[in-house]
Structure 1
Amino acid sequence: MNPISGPPYTLPAGKRLTFRILLTTLLGLSLTLAAVGYTLLLSWQLEGGGAAINEAGSLRMRSYRLAMELEHQQVASKIVQELDDFNRILNDLQTGDAKRPLFLPASQPVREQMQLVQKEWQQHVEVNARKVLSETDLQNKQAMLNLYAKELPVFVESINKLVSLVEVELTEKTTWLRLCQTALIFMSLAASIALLYLLYLWIVGPVTRMQAGIASMSKDDLSVRLPIETEDEFGVLAQAFNQMADHVQSVHRTLEERVAEKTARLQEQNHEVSTLYEIAGFLAGPHAIEELCRGFLQRIMQRMEADGGTVRILDNLSDNLHITVHEGISEKMIEEEHCIKTDDCLCGAATHQGIIIVRDFRKMDQQRRYRCQEEGFFSLAVFQILAREQVIGSFSLHFSKERNISSEERRLLETLGKNLGVAIENQRLIAREKEFAVSNERNLLAQGLHDSIAQGLNFLNLQVQMLEDSLSRNDVEEIKDIAPLLRAGVQESYEDVRELLLNFRTRLQDSNLESEMRNVVAKFQRQTGIHGQIEFVGNGAPLAPEQQLQVLFILQEALSNVRKHAQAGEVSIRVKNERDFSLTVTDNGEGFNMDKVHEKGEAHVGLRIMQERADRLAAKFHIASQPGEGTTIALELLRQERLVA
C-alpha cells in the first residue's frame, strides 16, 4: 500500500478547536473587562465624590472665616480674593473636574441641594458680604454685618445637607463596589473551573487517548484504533492516526523484504561511495599520466569484475585514439589497435556518441568485424574521459560473460571518467607550469648573461682591437694604458658571472625570508665594503615560498645595481610585513636622472629584471632617484595579491 495521500482536511470555522478556544477566550475576556471596568468606574466616582465632600466641607470653614475677616475689617483685596475663591469652589462643584477627579453625584436630590446652596450664596451671603465691604458708614456696616451673621447658619446648614446627601450616595456606591469585587472573585473562580473543564474536554482528553494509542502501537499492537468522538482538529487527527495505523499494519507484513532490499541497496551505494573515494584519492596523488591510467583501470576492473580493459587518449589534431594502458588484452589486439581513428571501433565511436554498452556481441551486426568479439569477450562497456566538458579519451571494460551495467554503475563510471580526465588534465597543466617556470628562469638567465656578460665582452673586444693596433704601431705607453683596462674588464666580467650563478642558485631554507635577506646583505658588505643595514617591521604572516624567492631575487638585483653603478657608502633596507608587504632599498650614491633611464627603455637591464619579477608578484614597483641624492627602490605587495604560505 502507498502512504496516505489526498487533499488536506478542511474544517468549517465553527467546528475548529481554535475557533472555540478563541470564542471562549474572547467571551471570558469581555466579561472580565466589563467587570473590571465597572469597578474602576465606581472607584473613580467614589474618588470624585470624596473630593467633592472635601470641597463642600471647606465652604463651611470659608464662610466663618469670611465673617471673621469682615468683622475685623481685614484688607478689602484679601476679602475680595476670598469671595472669588468661594465662587470658584461653587463653580467646580457645579460643573465638576474630571482631571482631579472632582464631581458631585448625578442624583436629583444632590443636584437640587447644590442649586439651593449656590442660590443662597449668590442672593444672600455674597450680597451681604459685598455690602459690608463697600459700606463706609460704621452703623450701616454693623447692621449689614449682623444681617450676614444671621443668614450664615442657614447657609451652613444647606452645605451640611449637601454633604450628607453626597455621603449617602457614596455609601451606596461603596456597597456596589464591594459587591462587584466579590462577584468578580466568584466569576474568576467559575471561569477557571470552566476553562479547566473545557481544556480537559477539548485537549487533555483527546491528547491522552492519542498518547495511549501511540504507546500501544510502540508495543507492536498495530490493531489499536482511536475513537472519533469530535469533528474538530483532534477528530481529524484521530482519523489520520487510524489511517496511518492501517498503513503501518499493511507495511509491516512486507517489512522484512523491504528491509532486505534497502539493506542491499545501501550496501551497493556504500560500495560505490568507497570505490569513488578510493579512486578519487588515488587520482589526486602525484602520479605520472600512465601511472594514473594504469591504477585507475586496475581498480575499475576489480570493482566491475571485468576480464579486460583499456584506457585510450585522444589526439585532437590527428583524430587518433592511442592505447595508453591495457589489462587482459592480447598483444595481437594491442598491435592492431594501439593507434586507430575514432570511427574504426566502438571505443573510438564512444568519444563522439557517449556511452556504448554491448550486452551480447551476437546480437550486433554480424557483417561488421568486432575485435573484442574475436578476442572471446561477450559484453563491452565504453565510457568517455572528460576534462572541462571536453572529451580527451575513453576507457573500456571487457567481459567474458554477459554483463548488465545498472544505472547506478553507469552513473559511477561516468563520474570516475570525469575524475580521470581532471587528473590527466592536472598532470598536463603541472608539466606545462614546470616547463613555463623553467622557460622563464632561462629567459632571465639569458637576459642577465646577454645584458651584463655580453656588454663586458664587447668592451674587452674593443680593448683587444685597440691593443692590436698599439702593438702594430709599437706604442708602449698606449699598451700600458690598455692592459689595466683589460684586467679590470676581465675581473668585472668574472664577478658578474659569479653573481649571476649565485643568484640563480639561491634557494630559501625552511621558507625563512628574514634570515636569507640578512645573509644576502652580509655577503654584500663583505664583497663590496659598503655598509648595509636591514630593518624588519611588523609580524604579518609569511609570504608563500615562490613569492619569498622573487622578493629575494629583487633584493639581490638591487644590491647588484648599487655595487655596479651607485658608488655608495651606505645602503639601507626596510622590510615591512603587515597585511601588506613592502621592501624599500635606499642608497646614498650618485643617483641618476630618471628621464634618461626612461629614454633608454629596456637598455637598463637590472631595472627591467626587477620590474619583470615585480610583475610576476603582481606587485607595485617604483624607483625614485636624483643626481647626487641617491636612489630608492620600493616594492609593494598588496594584501589581495598575497598567497597563503
Structure 2
Amino acid sequence: MISISFTLWVTWKLEGGAAAINEAGRMRMQTYQLALLVNEGDAAATTKLITKFDNSIITLKYGDPARPLFVPWNQLNKQLFLNISGQWSSIKDDLQTRKATSISVSRIDNFVANIDRFVGSIEVEVDYWTNMLHLFQFAMLAISLFATLVIMYVGYSVILDPVEKLRIGFDGVRSGKLNTRVQIEAKDEFGDLAIGFNSMTETISDLYSGLEAKVREKTFHLQERQNRLQALYDLSSFVSTEDNLERLAQGFSKRILSITDASAIAIRWTDQANKRYFLLSGANLPSSIAEEEQCLVAGDCYCGQSSGNAEIQVITFDPKIEADRHCVKAGYNALISVPILFQQDLLGEIDIFYTKEQSIDSDQRALLGTLAHHLAGAMEALRIKALEKEAAISEERSLLARELHDSIAQSLAFLKLQVGMLRDEIVEPATEKAKTILGELDEGLRESYSDVRELLLHFRTRTNTEDIEPAIKTTLQKFEHQSGIHTELSVEGQGLPLAPDVQIQVMHVIQEALSNIRKHSKASIVRVEVAQSPKWTFRVIDDGIGFSTELNTVDSTHVGMSIMQERANKIGAKLELSSEALAGTCISLTLPT
C-alpha cells in the first residue's frame, strides 16, 4: 500500500509538472501572438489574449488539481515566477494605459527568455522526481526479490526441512534404530510432531532396553534426593548453631556453592523498606562484584528484587546488550535469584551465578526455597536475639536512670538549694576564703548535677533497629539544648545496617565525646560526620580550644578517652584522637568491615 501510494503521488506530481511545462510553454506562444496583435492594432483580440495570459499566470501560481496542474515549487522556481509576473504586470500596464502601442523585440525576447528559464527549472524538478520514481521502483524490485528469497528460505526451514527430518527419522525407526531422535526446534505443529515422535521412540526404546535402565535411573534420582536431604540436614544443623550473622552468611554461602555446583554465590541483606540491598557475604565472588556492588538499589539490577516480585528467578544474560554488567564482565552467563522470606517479609536474597545457561525443575526450586527459608529463620533468630539483648540493656539502663533520678539527682538538687540558702545566711563581713569555698562548692554541685542529667538523657537514648541516624540526631538535639552549642550532622554513602548491640556502643562513644566537648572544649560548633562505606566511620569534630596530645596528664578528659577506647575494643573498632591547642579536636571511630 505504501509503495502504491508513493507511486501514485509521484505520478500525480509528474503529471502536474508536465501540465505546468505545457502551460508555461503556451505563454511563450501567447507572448509572440500578443506582440503581433499589438503591432497590428487589434484591441479586441489583444484584450482577450491579455485575459488568457492572466489566467495562465493564475493557473501556474495556484495550480489546478482537476487537470492536474501545479508547479513543483522550489526557491529558484519562485524567483523566476516572480520575475515573469513582474514583467507581465509591467507589459500589461503599458498596454492597458496606452503608454505603448507596440512591444519591442528585445523586451519580448527578454520576457520569453525568463519563461524559458522557468520552464527549464520545472523540467529539472520533474526530472528529479522521475529519477526518484525510477529509483523507488528499482528498490521495490530489489525488495521483492529479497522477500522472495526470504519466503523460499522460510518455507524450506519451516516446512521442507522438518518434513525431511521426520522422514529420515521414520526411515531410521523402520530399519530398527529405536534410539532415533528428530531435532526440530520450531514451536509449531512440526515441533509438536517431533516431540511426539521422540516420545514414541523413547518409550519403545525403554521397552526394549528393559528394566535395567529404569532401575539405574531411579537409583540415580534416589541418590540425588538423598544427597539433597543430607545437604539440607547439614545446612540446617549449621544455621541452628551459628550465632554470628557474618559467619552464618559466609558458611551458608560455601555450602550453597557446593550443593548447587555454582560458580559464585552472593548473599544480600535488604533494609526494612526493601529499597537497598547490602552485600552480606559471598563465595568465589570476583573483586569487581565484591567491591562495586556493596550496596544496590532495588530494581536497578537483576540482583535486588522488589518486595512485590519476591520469587525464584532464572535469568540468562545477553553479553551483547548487557556487556557493562559486573557479572557479565566476570564471565557469568546465568543467575538464579532466590528471595529470603520470613513470614512473607523479604529479608534479602541469595544470588547464584553460573558460567553457563541454567534451568531448574520443581524439585530444585523446592530445595532452594527450603534452604532460603532456613537461612531466613536463622537470620530472624539472630535479629530477635540482638533485639532482646538491646532491650535487656535498655531496661537495665532505664532502671539505673530511675535510681539515679530518685537518689543522686534528688540529693544534688537538695544540696543546691541548701548551698543557696547558706549563701543567703552568710553575714558580712565574711572572709574571702569562705566566699571562695562556697563558690567552688556551688560550682561543683552544679557540674555534678549537669553530669547526672546528662547521664539520664544518655540512658534514655534508644537506637533504631535499622538505622543509627535518628538516634544520633536525637542525641545532638539534646546536647544542643543542654549546652547551647550548635551541632551539625552529615551522613554519606550506603552501608550494611549496624547490629543493635554495635549501635549502642557507637552511641556511647559519641555521647562521651559530646560530654567532653561540653565540659572542656569551649566550642561554638560541633560536627558529626558519618561515612557508611567502605567502612562505617564516625567523626566528632569541634572548633574549641583543643589540647596537646603529648601531655600525659590524668584528668577527666583522659578518663573519658579510656572509656571510649574500652567501648571501641568491645566491637573491634579503631578509635583515633587528633587535637592541637586552640585548633579544636577530632575523635574518629572506624568499625571493622
- Report TM bin, short chain: 0.3 to 0.5
What is the TM-score normalised by the length of structure 1? 0.32
> TM-score, length-normalised on structure 2?
0.35
Is the radius of gyration larger for structure 1 or structure 2? 1
Task: Judging by fraction of residues, say which structure has more helix.
Answer: 1
